[in-house]
Amino acid sequence: MRVFVPSILVALLASPALAKPVYEGQAPVAYLEDVASGAILYDRDSRRKIPTASMAKMMTAYVVFEKIKAGKLKLDQKFVVKPETGEKWGSVGSTMYLKSGEKVPLEALVDGLITLSGNDAAVVIAEGVSGTVPAFLKEMNAAAKKLGMKDSHFATPNGWPDGGKTYSTARDLSLLSRAIISGHPAYFRRFFSKRSFTWDGVTQTNRNPLLGVIDGADGLKTGHSDEAGYCLTGTASRNGRRLLMVIAGLPTMQGRVDEARAFLNWGYDAWAIKPLFAAKTRITRIPVQLGSELSVPAVALGNVGALYPKGEKPSFKLSTRYNGPLKAPVRSGQPVGELIVKHRDGRIQTVPLVAQAAVERTGYFGRAWNGLRLLVGAS
């Protein structure tokens, strides 16, 4: 049950209802969020199921990063290109030009996957990591389920058209992107911002139209197919503020270029931010049952601010909520609740909160002592 904790701060100013900035874009699907604050700046059909095209390769990369983190893979280990894989994918669509029988380091394959959007790299990774493509697909879909990507399914590791079996939504792709950026920051920096990559003497450039053009742009992934149109999941970080966007269904490559650049710039130019809490600053305390402590401090992992239209006065109210009752043991970093920023114009920002410290489960005498503390008003 969701339980509301009393408001921790009210900042409601006497000002008229705010008019949301207007963005006139052409993409059938368009989504833009401010990552740290949780503010959705623009939403056009973000829950529509769409073909992912090569944006599916973000999930392929995520599975690899998770396995490296778990100690099950290493970037310097080599995978062999199976003859049938080299023959089928070596020259189909975007490719790394892998050759049958070639031994390729995983690090190079990930570069080929992300920078070059290599369809062959994706399949070699899938077969090398899990033995077969179907086995790897199970891992992709399990990861999607764990991340809460409820409207996504992966039937290919590279996003090659498959009659609609592989699909996602802008919302789900944003979840995946945040998991890569926050869960694997070193690999995100290492792989997603490269402008070009050379393999076997062939240099190819990254198709991401934001890199090197939009201030602070540092990833993620393009996609294109006849059924998906031209798509992009992109991000930039500027002055400590990260924006994440998804556009899909554009009819031309130049249309994707123009839309992506205009959309991201609009996110920075039309909106201002009022700082509220620095990263990992205690925002509230959440009650804990059966624990060594009566409550646990809750923090946001990033800087938190209220987004409002430039030229207007910020007008909002803050409250927190949590899934209760919260029972020990509680892990440090465990998701425990949300900070809600409700603006006068009706917009709502939702910022995840995590436990700042661990709370161990306590025994009978510990619970009795805590009961006494509650009686006398101790915290």
Looking at residue 12, its pLDDT comes to: 35
What confidence score (pLDDT) does residue 378 get? 52
Cα→Cα distances 4→104, 280, 285, 286, Å: 53, 21, 12, 11
> CB-based contacts of 136: which residues, under 8 Å, 6+ apart?
60, 63, 125, 126, 127, 129, 130, 157
Sheet containing 282-287: which strands, arranged edge to edge?
A: 2-11, 316-323, 335-343, 348-355, 295-299, 282-287
Higher pLDDT pick, 249 / 322: 249
> What is the pLDDT at residue 18?
39
Query: Which CATH architecture does the domain made up of 29-269 adopt?
Result: 3-Layer(aba) Sandwich (3.40)
What is the residue type of 178? R
Structure token digits, residue 341: 């920023």
Q: Which residue has the higher pLDDT, 73 or 5?
A: 73
Beta-carbon contacts of residue 20 (< 8 Å; ≥ 6 apart): 309, 345, 347
Q: Do the two domains 2-16+275-375 and 29-269 of this chain adopt the same fold?
A: no
pTM as predicted: 0.86
> For 226-279, what is each residue's pLDDT tens digit?
999 999 999 999 988 899 999 999 999 999 999 999 999 999 999 998 999 998
Closest CA to 24 of 323, 247, 259, 287: 259
- Note the pLDDT of residue 227: 95
Separation CA 88–CA 102 (nearest Å):
14
- Report residue 31 CA to chain centroid gap: 13
Alpha carbon distance 246, 222 (integer Å) = 10
pLDDT average, residue stretch 168-180? 98
CB atoms within 10 A of CB 262: 15
What are the structural domain ranges in the chain? 2-16+275-375, 29-269
- Both tokens of 110, joined, read 């990930």
Q: What angle do CA 234, 306, 8 make, to 5 degrees?
A: 135
CATH for 2-16+275-375, options being 2.60.40.1760, 3.40.190.10, 2.60.410.10, 2.30.110.10: 2.60.410.10
Enter the tokens of residue 68: 């490296």
Please name the helix (run of DSSP H) or strand (run of DSSP E) that holds residue 26, with its range, or none: none
259 phi and psi, to 5 degrees?
A: -65, -45
State both tokens at 347. Answer: 């917009």
**What is each CA distance from 312 to 17, 62, 272, 334, in whole angstroms?**
10, 40, 9, 36
What pLDDT does residue 371 have?
52
**Angle ∠(24,25,30) on CA atoms, nearest 5:** 120
pLDDT: which is higher, 170 or 289: 170
State the chain's mean pLDDT as an integer. 90
Handedness of CA 321, 326, 328, 334 (dihedral sign): negative
pLDDT digits (tens, 9 = 90+) for 110-162: 999 999 999 999 999 999 999 999 999 999 999 999 999 999 999 999 999 99
**Between these two residues, 166 and 10, which has the higher pLDDT value?**
166
Non-local CB neighbours of 186 within 8 Å, separated by 6+ positions = none
Reported residue count of the chain is 379
Supply the pLDDT for residue 33: 94
